Amino acid sequence: MEDVELVEFEYDRDMDDILRVWTETGWFDGEDRPERFIKQFFEANDGRSVVARLNGHTESVVHRSLGSMHYDDTQVSLGGVTAVTTSRIARRLRMASRLTARTVAHLGDEGVAVAALGMFEQGFYDRVGFAAGSYENRVQVYPGDLDIPVPYRTPERLDLDDDLEEIHAAIVDRMPWHGGIAVGGERLSQAGAQIDDQPTLFGYRTDGTLSHFLMLEMKGENGPDRVLGMAYQTKYQCLELLRLIQEWGDQVDSIRFVEPVWLKAQEFMRQPGREYRRTKGTAHEMHIDADAWWQARIVDLDACVRAMRPAGREFSIAVEVDDPIQDHLVDSGYAGSWQPLSGLWRLTFGPNAGAERLAPDTANDTPADLVTTVNALTQWWLGVTSADTLAVVGAFEAKPDVIDQLDDLTAHLPTPQLGWDI
């Protein structure tokens, strides 16, 4: 292995190298405007980044951010792994995997219950315990074909500099749903929104306070436009934002947005079949597709179990967990106190819910009721995949009655949706 040094990020030492790395990976094209926001992106998170250096230069970096996730009807602490980048000359040196493992461990030290990230490819982050989230529907539609049943209201134009405090507050205070996240502070939100795009924002106030807005990328005169994010406090406010989009049909030929999990966009189209046929094969083709772009992993098992809705009766199971992050923490430079989740745990569900790691002498005399990985356990906990399905594919090994008990605990969970791109 090459002589690689994994250390904490230092702005003056590492920032120029990081810009070069982002250029090599196609994340940055050298323009002054995005450079300013990339620098702000690293400045604004209080130095929560780690880098790998090779021959005196930074060749890989992982950026992390703190936030929260709405889980069922409560909140849990969240850590966002918000930028993993490696240069073209530093591949196959295990830089990214070790830095990501170290970042997860640092998040554990910072009290995070669950970590999440946007994946570039299925499988890479599985090796440090992450598992794929739920599918999200992406809708591309001709705005004029929408038929939103709320009256139109003229919005106001927002500015990411002048209105930053209100914009960030609207993101944090948006309608809660299972899996919804808020990550970072105001300056991080401002920088993240403008690294790749020059967004336009339109919004509405309720009782004088910014309550709902959409952020979009406009492409030429006729689109296709793309909604980068929406924030709203009620379902009616979401419909009002879609009603705003509807009004652009006299100019914009198509617009793309992520479908909220509670809404079926096709039910608000006048002639979806006609639009499918009319636009087929064009840049403005009407379609609805789906993909799973994000991943998550449990970091604090006790906090995650305690966040679950109490079971009708209290019961406990012994769970043997494999956490693949262990191998990637080796030689990562991590020196904190967080421990991978590998080992035997006692999970208790009910009024006294929690998770306790069993000592080796106790574990040796305790048979496991469930054998699994932290990856699969996370998918079950979030409600992405049922225990029954995980058992069928071999990710959960347990007797049928244990599987039934686990499914009873998560059957009520709606489909999780992050609601904001991390």
Same domain, 10 and 153: no
**Quick one: 274 and 311 in the same domain?**
no
Beta pairing partners, 54: 4, 57
The distance from CA 291 to its chain's CA centroid, rounded to whole angstroms, is 13
Please indicate, yes or no, if residue 169 is contained in any of the structural domains. no
Greater model confidence, 92 or 74? 74
> Does residue 145 sit in the same domain as residue 284?
yes
Domain with 50, as residue range(s), is 4-134
pLDDT attached to residue 30: 67
Residue 199, preceding peptide bond in cis (omega within 30° of 0) = no
Residue 211 lies in a domain: yes
Instruction: For residues 270 and 189, give the distance between their C-alpha atoms in angstroms, rounded to a whole number.
Output: 36
pTM for this predicted structure: 0.92
In terms of domains, do 101 and 150 share one?
A: no
pLDDT above 80: residue 421: no
CA angle 240, 196, 103 (to 5 degrees): 105
Check the CA dihedral 42-46-49-55 and report its sign.
positive
Verify that 276 and 313 share a domain, yes or no: no
For position 45, what pLDDT does the model report? 64
Per the structure, the count of domains in the chain is: 3
Do 222 and 97 lie in one domain? The reply is no
Locate 403 and state its tokens: 């599987």
What CATH number should be reported for the domain holding residue 399? 3.30.1050.10
Instruction: Give the residue, 146 or 312, on which the prediction is more confident.
Output: 146
In a domain, 180, yes or no: no
Give 220's pLDDT tier (boundaries 50, 70, 90): confident
Enter the tokens of residue 363.
Answer: 């574990």
Per-residue pLDDT at 127 exceeds 90: yes
- Check pLDDT > 80 for residue 377: yes
Among 233, 255, 290, which residue terminates a domain?
290
User: Domain for residue 171, yes or no?
Assistant: no
Query: Tokens representing 252?
Result: 């914009």
Structure confidence at residue 302 (pLDDT): 97
Q: Is the dihedral of CA 104, 413, 291, 232 positive or negative?
A: negative
350 pLDDT more than 70: yes
The mean per-residue pLDDT over the stretch 286-295 comes to 92
Look up tokens 């999440």; give the residue. 116
Using the 3D structure, point to which of 290, 316, 333 is the last residue of a domain: 290
Which band of pLDDT confidence, cut at 50, 70 and 90, is reported for residue 306?
A: very high
Q: Which of the residue ranges 36-45, 213-222, 245-254, 308-317 would you say has the lowest mean pLDDT?
A: 36-45
pLDDT value at residue 122: 80
Residue 422 has pLDDT above 60, yes or no: no
For residue 382, which of 420, 341, 415, 342 has the smallest C-alpha distance? 415
Least confident segment among 21-25, 49-53, 343-347: 21-25
State which H helix or E strand residue 15 sits in: helix 11-24
pLDDT in tens, 396-410: 999 999 999 999 999
- The percent of residues above 90 in pLDDT, for the chain, comes to 68
pLDDT of 76 strictly over 70: yes
Whether 170 has a pLDDT exceeding 60, the answer reads yes
Token duo for residue 235: 């379902």
Domain boundary among 290, 325, 341: 290
135 pLDDT more than 70: yes
Q: Give a yes or no: residue 186 inside a domain.
A: no
Residues with Cβ < 8 Å from 299, sequence gap 6 or more?
Answer: 79, 104, 107, 108, 112, 113, 114, 115, 338
Residues 308 and 72 sit within 8 Å (Cβ to Cβ): yes
Classified as helix, coil or strand, 164 is helix
Which residue type is seen at 175?
Answer: M
Instruction: Give yes or no: residues 283 and 338 share one domain.
Output: no
The pLDDT, as a whole number, for residue 191 is 62
Contact at 8 Å (CB) between 363 and 346?
A: no
- The whole-chain average pLDDT of the chain stands at 90
CATH code for the domain in which residue 34 is found:
3.40.630.30
Average pLDDT over residues 188-196: 64
The reply to whether 19 and 101 lie within a common domain is: yes
Domain co-membership, 147 together with 276: yes
What integer is the mean pLDDT of 68-88?
A: 92
Say if residue 10 is in the same domain as residue 100: yes
Q: Is 407 left (phi over 0), alpha (psi -120 to 50) or beta?
A: alpha
Query: Does residue 33 share a domain with residue 64?
Result: yes
Residue 124 lies in a domain: yes
Cα–Cα dist 90/229, whole Å: 34
Confidence of residue 313 (pLDDT cuts 50, 70, 90): confident
Q: Given this model, what pLDDT does residue 194 score?
A: 61
Tell me, yes or no, whether 267 lies in a domain: yes
Q: In the prediction, which pLDDT does 61 show?
A: 93
Cα gap 320→396, rounded to integer Å: 10
Q: Are residues 122 and 231 in the same domain?
A: no
For residue 127, being part of any structural domain is answered with yes
pLDDT (average), residues 169-181:
92
Instruction: Please state whether beta strands 315-322 and 370-373 pair in parallel, antiparallel, or not at all (unpaired).
Output: parallel
